[in-house]
Amino acid sequence: MPIYKTGLCWLRRDLRWTDHTALKMACSQCKDVAVVFVFDSVILDQLDDSEDRRLTVIHRALEELNEALKKWGSRLIVLYGDPQEQIPHIVEKLKVDAVYFNEDYEQYAKKRDRAVKTTLERKGVDFYSFKDQVIFSGTEILKADGTPYQVFTPYMRAWKKKYKKTMADEQKPNLKRLIAPSRLSRIEKLKPLNFYGFQKSEVLFPLGRSGALKLLKVFEGSLKNYNRDRDFPALEGTSKLSVHLRFGTLSIREAVRFCLYKKNKGAEAWLNELIWREFYFMILDQFPFVEKLAFKEQYRTISWPGKSTHFRAWCEGRTGVPIVDAAMRQLNSTGFMHNRLRMVVASFLVKDLLIDWRKGEAYFAKKLLDFDRAANNGGWQWSASTGCDAQPYFRVFNPSSQQKKFDPDGVFLRQWVPEVFEENSNYPEPIINHKVQREKALKLFKGAALT
């Protein structure tokens, strides 16, 4: 029997109506369940591009979600503003008895959620949070001494040892409990994207829940070769599902079930990447200072001598280093960058251009469709040798060697820097000498390590 008359399921980075922990629990404990999404003005006001593609991704997911809820005799509530004001407002308007949501591990999100909880508790409204975007959250995988892991491989082994198949079971909401539209007659609906101050942009990936399932089906055909093909940007060797995992149009449980069902080397390699994702979530949750500081204390005082002109050249894909420029042009044009290339361009920025990794991290945060603070920070600190379990500082990617190894026929380069192959090309000379800059980087890091 339901415990509450009216419940509210607050969506954030879980834009689906199936395999959804908070929605399942709301539908099991409440007679009527309303579903709300808030366009968070605190976050959106920080964006300086009205055509930020991520808003197109979110809006399309909400359109599909709304249509799905309509089929179950309800609809989506969509608000705009500060959630600390908007959630208590809609709770009061609908006379909600309990609010349900899935956990987020970023510092802003945790602070926001605590503030909303405090406000609602004063009003006598119950507040429930659930683990949903990971299989194991921050303190569930610990070392024998009770402290968090700081190295990935033992974390991965512990993850696999602790994992049980039931942990990826589908969380099925009883959507018959969704609130009737008659109770929502004066409540805000989903409006066109320009109402929220943004313009629709072209996104090259299938979007929404349907897009996630389509990509998962396509990936099924190439999964067995994932371990072999994933490092080659010219191949369709990766899942392209990171956007859907980021915005929750695909659940982590679906991804894990997919891996474990296939049982081949490719599936095992993809599962390891999903565990890397959880490792970085754990690091962000347990060591929140990484949002602003190097994980390794000895590298926090490095004075980066790189030039602002070099940073602009890196951003614009005109460094004169083809593989770097190709990757950056792909990012600027599509919002996507292949994972191997993310490591190449990050290493180049930090160890060739000698520019603070945080500047690159911030640029990626503006441009990546699948931007996730935990993974972005973890990846940048790994490449910069400042993070937990990072590559040692003396390992410096040679961009020329990386291009020869992972794009040997120049297929990817021809797509994004075709002028390299033209006669009388105006393609620029490299802005730095890799060999010289490598020595400077080693000296910079070695000096920091000794202080």
Cβ burial of 100 (10 Å; 0-12, 13-18, 19+) is buried
Secondary structure (DSSP) of 407-428: STT-HHHHHH-GGGGSTT--PP
Tally DSSP H helices, then E strands, for the chain: 19, 5
Q: For position 451, what pLDDT does the model report?
A: 59
Whether residue 273 lies in the annotated active site: yes
User: What pLDDT does 436 receive?
Assistant: 97
- Report pLDDT for 390: 80
Cα maximum dimension of the chain:
77
One of 67, 188, 273, 291 is an active-site residue; which one? 273
* Catalytic site residue from 276, 314, 382, 416: 276
Distance (Å) of CA 245 to CA 278, 321, 375 = 12, 32, 12
CA separation for the pair 84, 368 (Å, rounded): 27
Q: Extract the residue ranges of the chain whose pLDDT is less than 50.
A: none
* Choice among 174, 202, 220, 304 that is catalytic: 304
**Token pair recorded at residue 376:** 């972005």
Query: What pLDDT does residue 449 have?
Result: 66
Catalytic annotation, pick one of 264, 272, 339, 398: 339
Res 391: pLDDT: 81
Structure tokens that stand for 428 in this block: 């620029």
Query: Of 314, 357, 382, 416, which one is the catalytic site residue?
Result: 357
Hunting for tokens 């990072």 — which residue is that? 390
The tens digit of pLDDT for each residue in 66-97 reads 999 999 999 999 999 999 999 999 999 999 99
* Contact residues for 43 (Cβ-Cβ < 8 A; gap 6+): 108
Q: Where are the domains of the chain?
A: 1-132, 133-169+210-286, 297-450
* The model's pTM: 0.95
Res 36: pLDDT = 98
**pLDDT at 63 (0 to 100):** 98
- In the prediction, which pLDDT does 114 show? 97
Q: Residues 10, 17, 270, 380: which is the catalytic one?
A: 380
Q: Which CATH class is domain 297-450?
A: mainly alpha
Q: Which two tokens stand for residue 301?
A: 């005082």
Return the DSSP state at 148: B
Counted residue by residue, the chain has a size of: 451
34: helix, strand or coil? strand
Residue 392's pLDDT is 87
Residue 6 belongs to what H/E stretch? Answer: strand 4-11
Active site residue 304: yes
In CATH, what class is 133-169+210-286?
Answer: mainly alpha
Bridge partner residues of 209 (DSSP): none
Please state which of the four CATH numbers 3.40.47.10, 3.40.50.1820, 3.40.50.620, 3.20.20.140 is assigned to the domain occupying 1-132.
3.40.50.620
16-69 confidence digits (pLDDT tens):
999 999 999 999 999 999 999 999 999 999 999 999 999 999 999 999 999 999
